[in-house]
Structure 1
Amino acid sequence: MDMLLFQLERDSDKPLYDQLYNGIKEAIISKKITVGEKLPSKRKLADFLNISQTTIEIAYAQLLAEGYIMSKSRIGYFVEEIDELPYIQQDTMASINEYPKKKSYKIDFNPGSIDIDAFPFQTWRKYAKELFDDTSKELLLTGEPQGELSLRTEIANYLYQSRGVVCHPEQIVIGSGTEQLLPMILRLFNEDTSFALENPGYPAVHRMFSQHKRKVYPIAVDEEGIIIHDLEKTNANVVYITPSHQFPTGAVLSATRRAQALNWAAQSTSRYIIEDDYDSEFRYAGKPIPALHALDRNDKVIYMSTFTKSLMPSLRVAYFVLPPKLLATYNDVFNYYSSTVPRFDQHIVANFMGDGHFAKHLNRMRKIYRKKHDKLTSILEKYSSSINITGEQAGMHILLEVQHTFSEKQLQQLASQAEIGIYPLSAYRLDHYESSQAQFLLGFGGIPVQAIESSIEQLMDCWSIQKNDPST
Structure 2
Amino acid sequence: MLYFQLHKENTIPLYEQLYIGIKNAITSKQLEVGARLPSKRELAEFFTISQTTVELAYSQLLAEGYITSKPRVGYFVEEIDELPLIYAKQQSVKFQQVKGERPSYAIDFSSAKIDEDAFPFTLWRKYAKDVLDMPFKHLLQTGERQGELALRIEIANYLHQSRGIQCSPEQIVIGSGTEQLLPMILKLFGDHAKLALENPGYSPIPRTQLKQIAIPIAVDTDGLIVEQLQRTDANIVYVTPSHQFPTGAVLSANRRTQLLKWAAQAPNRYIIEDDYDSEFRYIGKPIPALQGLDQHDRVIYLSTFTKSLMPSLRVAYFVLPPSLVKRYRENFNYYSSTVPRFEQHILANFMKDGHFSKHLNRMRKIYRKKHDKLIEIFSTYYPQIQISGDAAGTNILITFAHAQSETELQQLALKHQIYILPLSNFFVTPQNTTERVFLLGFGNLPLTEIATKIHQLMQIWGISKKA
Match for 1:273 among 271, 274, 296? 271
Pairing of 1:44-443 with structure 2 (within 5 A): 95-97=95-97, 101-210=101-210, 215-443=213-441
Match for 1:446 among 444, 447, 463? 444
Aligned to 1:39: none
Aligned to 2:64: none
* Distance across 2 between alignment mates of 1:112 and 1:94: 36
Q: Name the TM-score, length of structure 1 as normaliser.
A: 0.78
Work out whether residues 203 and 428 of structure 1, in 8 Å CA contact, stay in contact via their aligned partners in 2: yes
* Distance across 2 between alignment mates of 1:298 and 1:12: 70
Residues 188, 463 of structure 1: CA spacing in aligned structure 2 closer, same or farther, 3 A cutoff? same
- Structure 1 counterpart SS, 2:258: helix
Work out whether residues 276 and 305 of structure 1, in 8 Å CA contact, stay in contact via their aligned partners in 2: yes
**How far off its partner does 1:382 sit?**
2.2
Work out whether residues 302 and 320 of structure 1, in 8 Å CA contact, stay in contact via their aligned partners in 2: yes
- Structure 1 counterpart SS, 2:206: helix
Work out whether residues 308 and 314 of structure 1, in 8 Å CA contact, stay in contact via their aligned partners in 2: yes
Question: What whole-Å deviation, never above 9, does each CA across 1:245-290 have from its counterpart, x for those lacking one?
Answer: 1111111111111111111101011100000112110000001111
Q: How many residues align?
A: 380
Residues 171, 446 of structure 1: CA spacing in aligned structure 2 closer, same or farther, 3 A cutoff? same
- Structure 2 counterpart SS, 1:203: coil
Residues 316, 101 of structure 1: CA spacing in aligned structure 2 closer, same or farther, 3 A cutoff? closer
Question: What whole-Å deviation, never above 9, does each CA across 1:310-329 have from its counterpart, x for those lacking one?
Answer: 00011110000001111111
Work out whether residues 209 and 216 of structure 1, in 8 Å CA contact, stay in contact via their aligned partners in 2: no
| Higher Rg | 2
Question: What whole-Å deviation, never above 9, does each CA across 1:72-113 have from its counterpart, x for those lacking one?
Answer: xxxxxxxxxxxxxxxxxxxxx894447785443211100000
- Structure 1 counterpart SS, 2:208: helix
Stretch moving more, 376-385 or 236-245: 376-385
Q: Which amino acid aligns with 1:131?
A: V
Pairing of 1:35-50 with structure 2 (within 5 A): none
Question: What whole-Å deviation, never above 9, does each CA across 1:417-463 have from its counterpart, x for those lacking one?
Answer: 22211110111110122422110000000111111000101011111
* Distance across 2 between alignment mates of 1:341 and 1:102: 23
Aligned to 1:83: none
* Distance across 2 between alignment mates of 1:12 and 1:191: 52
* Distance across 1 between alignment mates of 2:318 and 2:435: 36
- Structure 2 counterpart SS, 1:258: helix
* Distance across 1 between alignment mates of 2:265 and 2:413: 48
Residues 415, 152 of structure 1: CA spacing in aligned structure 2 closer, same or farther, 3 A cutoff? same
Question: What whole-Å deviation, never above 9, does each CA across 1:224-263 have from its counterpart, x for those lacking one?
Answer: 0010000001000000001111111111111111111111
Work out whether residues 426 and 435 of structure 1, in 8 Å CA contact, stay in contact via their aligned partners in 2: no
* Distance across 2 between alignment mates of 1:361 and 1:196: 35
Is 1:461 equivalent to 2:459 in the alignment? yes
Q: Which amino acid aligns with 1:249?
A: T
**How far off its partner does 1:393 sit?**
0.2
Q: Name stretches of at least 5 consecutive residues in structure 2 with no aligned partner.
A: 1-82, 88-92
- Structure 2 counterpart SS, 1:414: helix
Q: Name the TM-score, length of structure 2 as normaliser.
A: 0.78
Question: What whole-Å deviation, never above 9, does each CA across 1:278-311 have from its counterpart, x for those lacking one?
Answer: 2110000001111111111111000000000000
Aligned to 1:32: none
**How far off its partner does 1:364 sit?**
0.4
Q: Which amino acid aligns with 2:198?
A: E
Work out whether residues 273 and 301 of structure 2, in 8 Å CA contact, stay in contact via their aligned partners in 1: yes
* Distance across 1 between alignment mates of 2:101 and 2:156: 40
Identity of aligned residues (%): 61
Residues 143, 13 of structure 1: CA spacing in aligned structure 2 closer, same or farther, 3 A cutoff? farther
Work out whether residues 382 and 468 of structure 1, in 8 Å CA contact, stay in contact via their aligned partners in 2: yes
* Distance across 2 between alignment mates of 1:434 and 1:12: 58
Work out whether residues 302 and 317 of structure 2, in 8 Å CA contact, stay in contact via their aligned partners in 1: yes
RMSD: 1.8
